[in-house]
Amino acid sequence: MTKEIQGSYAILATLSSEPDKILAAKRDAPLVIGLGDNANFIGSDVLSFLPHTNKVIYLDDGEYAVLSSEKVTVYDSDRNEVLKKHELVNWKWKEGNKGDYDYFMIKEIQEQPRVIRQALMQDDRVLMNMAMEILRARQVVFVACGTSRHAALIGRYAFSKIGRIFSDVVMGSEFGYFSDSIDKGTVVIAISQSGKQLMF
């Protein structure tokens, strides 16, 4: 069904003839299904339905699903039904929502001291290995979007000011255009929407 679609996508569609069903498909984009009692949910993030259920199914790239309030059926790209095991999200709802704050931004500002303390609690050997990989790299590239990109810009400044290393920041949606210049001598630091980083 989705073999002719190129690039990354997360699609939800309905048919006027079957308004009680939702068709969902994804590739290289977040899409998660929540399994509830007499109701099923779908969104780009578990937070959108976490108050109602913590039982989820993650679609793999190229798969698609048909949802109704009673049933969820998943298929592969060849239209063969796939049996997916559900997972339980162990997050506490208060940690995933605004808690007692009016806005997420205020909550995140107030959480900064705790987050900084947690960030500093790292394995020194792991940090040293990462630092050495960065020092040996021919080039360093930050990949991020949105507010994560602002964090990457600060990281770029710190690399230049403290480490005397020039690095560049590339929007995640544009990273594919630069793939030809990425080689074994490149360190890519990808910063996710949630602020977690991955270096490869």
What CATH number has the domain bearing residue 179? Answer: 3.40.50.10490
Residues 89 and 138 in one domain: no
Is the pLDDT confidence value at 19 over 90?
no
Tell me, yes or no, whether 113 lies in a domain: no
Q: Which residue has the higher pLDDT, 127 or 74?
A: 74
State whether the Cα torsion 157-110-196-150 is positive or negative. Answer: negative
Tell me, yes or no, whether 108 lies in a domain: no
Q: Which residue has the higher pLDDT, 2 or 106?
A: 106
Residues 140 and 89 in one domain: no
* Average pLDDT value for residue range 17-41: 88
Residues 88 and 145 in one domain: no
Tell me, yes or no, whether 116 lies in a domain: no
Residues 71 and 25 in one domain: yes
Number of structural domains (the chain) is: 2
Residues 85 and 162 in one domain: no
Tell me, yes or no, whether 180 lies in a domain: yes
Residues 90 and 142 in one domain: no
Tell me, yes or no, whether 103 lies in a domain: no
Tell me, yes or no, whether 114 lies in a domain: no
Provide, rounded to the nearest whole percent, the portion of the chain with pLDDT above 70. 90
Is the pLDDT confidence value at 1 over 50?
yes
What CATH number has the domain bearing residue 40? Answer: 3.60.20.10
Residues 54 and 130 in one domain: no
Tell me, yes or no, whether 71 lies in a domain: yes
Tell me, yes or no, whether 105 lies in a domain: no
Is the pLDDT confidence value at 196 over 60?
no
How sure is the predictor about 52, in pLDDT bands with cuts at 50, 70 and 90?
A: confident
**For 11-20, 38-47, 104-113, 126-135, which range has the lowest pLDDT when averaged over its residues?**
104-113
**Which residues touch 155 (CB under 8 Å, ≥6 apart)?**
142, 167, 189, 191
Give the tens place of pLDDT for each residue, 108-160: 788 888 777 777 777 888 888 888 988 889 999 999 988 889 989 999 999 99
Cα separations in angstroms, 191 against 28, 72, 84, 149, 161: 16, 32, 29, 8, 20
Q: State the residue range of the domain holding 80.
A: 9-96
Residues 28 and 89 in one domain: yes
User: What pTM was estimated for this model as a whole?
Assistant: 0.51
Pairing status of strand 18-27 against strand 64-67: antiparallel
3-state secondary structure of 95: helix
